[in-house]
Amino acid sequence: MKAEPIFEIRPVHGEGPVWCPIEKKFYCVDLLKGTYYKIDFLTGCFSEFSVGQELGVLALCTSGRIITGVRDGFGFYDEEKKQLRLVENSPEINVKKRRMNDGAVDPKGRFFAGTMEYDGKNATGSLYRLNTDQTVTCLERNIFITNGMGWSPDCKTYYMIDTMRNVMYAYDYNIETGNISNRRRHIQWGKNEFPDGMTVDSEGGFWVAMWNGKKISHFDREGIWIEDISIPVSFVTSCCFGGEENNTLFITTSRLNLTEEEQKKNPLEGRCFAVNTNTKGQIEPRYNG
């Protein structure tokens, strides 16, 4: 499998890829810039929207709105009015040293997202659940960088990465309540390996973007390594499944930590990539609130 650059966009810090199977559109964020792209898969035409805050992650809603994880917590973005409305009692309002980083929607339509300090050096991050009635529940604390997350196909297990601990955790998941319990290490990397965003496929396997690793690492449901997909850039940030058959892996990357000279030498830094796989992704749920 070979990853190829796709779409004519080049975020500074690309993250948060989302595929819409209904409109055949791909979304991704430019995190610190506080914008997101909405791209037509068939034509490559795109629009860019600015939400006005650092934007870690977004998700689609059953109502047609966009739900976001931003610097101040959770908020809805209106593309027509070009306005961000924070959820009442959003958990991180005016906390200047932290921001939302990554998230995902559970099979019942609840939006999970977590925080980190801007430099990721201290374990002050938290994992939050935005319930369908727009109340917020804190599920976990003392996280360095709340990152890639997802659920097993049978909905019994929730997974979350803490990048600076070089680990993917697994939790027992109560699909009725949205609660997590019994945390354990599912995949442990070396101290110089930094897992970032990820997606869980329809077989329960993991596709993990490796920050400063130039690759996507593929593991089976038990966390056993299968293969690496080489990406021709330094900082690979996240991935999701999409495309006509839901077997195309879309990949985001970053050029945030590179000098201008380094970026000139490799103009692919920051681009999105795609690779066709022999595996299908799960259909991503929408926030139901």
Backbone angles phi, psi at 164, to 5 degrees: -75, -15
Active site residues: 196
Measure the CA–CA gap between 113 and 103, rounded to whole angstroms: 4
Q: 115 with 139: CB under 8 angstroms? A: no
Beta strand 98-105 pairing with 111-117: antiparallel
